[in-house]
Amino acid sequence: MLSRRQKHILLKFFSLFSVVRGYNILVIVIAQYLASIYIFAPDKPLGAVLFDLNLLMLVLASSATIAAGYIINNFYDSEKDLINRPRKTMLDRLVSQNTKLSFYFILNFLAIVFASYVSFRAVIFFALYIFAIWMYSHRLKKLPMTGNLVSAILTVTPFFVIFIYYKNFELVIFAHAIFLFLLVSMRELTKDLENLKGDLALDYKTVPVVYGEKMSKYMLTILAVLTIIVGIVLILFFKIGHMYYFFYLSVMLLSIFLLIVWKSNRKMHYLLLHNILKFIIVAGVFSILLIDVSVVLNRL
């Protein structure tokens, strides 16, 4: 049996894991490596990608920066989250704000250390990334449209740094990036609808607060239609192997999303829509394997 002190430490660990969204970071790490193997550097030997120390350092720097970003976001949104997510917030509060801030600075310092292994330009890139995340959490996220746009850009930035590292400018990469960017933009707007109660209470100027739920649904509809179009373009005009199964599934789920969004008027409805988008994004990460099922064997 665990002692009382051990249980307390374990609870604090889970609290910190919840704050930094450890599961999200793990998915991002997997996505960065799969994208490197199948999309950014498809012609390189598998071992050259997996054991590339520069790539590892960029992935670690990204992970540390994102984790720090979740902490500072949690710090600024603690009151709003208490309204929107009371159970999760109670778990998050097992770790003090001072401890969270200490981890925030440690993680950002580690990100710069990891980036310094690669190059001075990588250090500058991650320093700007850290600043941008802080600016978003502190001020920009409270602005309608701007907050959503910046959040979507910050979300795809970890893939942008790998893209720059490999200098692969194939058109298919831009098509994938646009698809992901649109999905993330939809997710951010859906989260705003889901968190409308807390945003209203604390005067966050999000799109639903400023323009209303109906206008937000029109914007979601436009974004969903654009995402479906990009998905169809990827199916018809690019060599994506068996990944076309994922895009067919995405088109179907986004069509269902469009049907549900106009019938939604409660938090649980928006939570369902949010989970649909999260499923598409996570499924997209692992469906990268379908681009070429035999690629691992051929490149050993």
Instruction: Kindly report, residue by residue over 181-240, the tens digit of the pLDDT.
Output: 999 999 999 998 988 887 777 777 888 888 899 999 999 999 999 999 999 999 999 888
The total number of structural domains in the chain stands at: 2
- Domain interval for residue 23: 18-168
* pLDDT tens profile 130-171: 999 999 988 888 788 888 899 999 999 999 999 889 987 788
Query: Final residue of a domain: which of 142, 168, 194?
Result: 168
Are 114 and 244 found together in one domain? no
Question: What does the pLDDT average to over 11-24?
Answer: 75
* Domain edge (last residue) among 168, 197, 227: 168
On whether the CB atoms of residues 186 and 193 are closer than 8 A, the answer is no
Q: Is residue 11 part of a domain?
A: no
What's the pLDDT at 173? 87
CATH number of the domain encompassing residue 177: 1.20.120
Contacts of 186 (CB under 8 A, 6+ apart): 220, 223, 224, 227, 257, 277
- The per-residue pLDDT for 168 is 79
The domain boundary, picked from 140, 168, 196, lies at: 168
Same domain assignment for residues 161 and 174: no
Q: Is the pLDDT of residue 112 over 60?
A: yes
Q: Percentage of the chain surpassing pLDDT 70?
A: 87
Greater confidence (2 vs 207) lies with 207
**What is the pTM assigned to this prediction?**
0.88
Residues 73 and 197 in one domain: no
Amino acid 86: pLDDT? 67
How many angstroms separate the Cα of 213 from the Cα of each of 85, 141, 151, 216, 218?
20, 18, 20, 5, 9
Reply yes or no on whether the pLDDT at 106 is more than 70. Answer: yes
Residue 174, judged by CB atoms within 10 A of its CB (0-12, 13-18, 19+), counts as: exposed
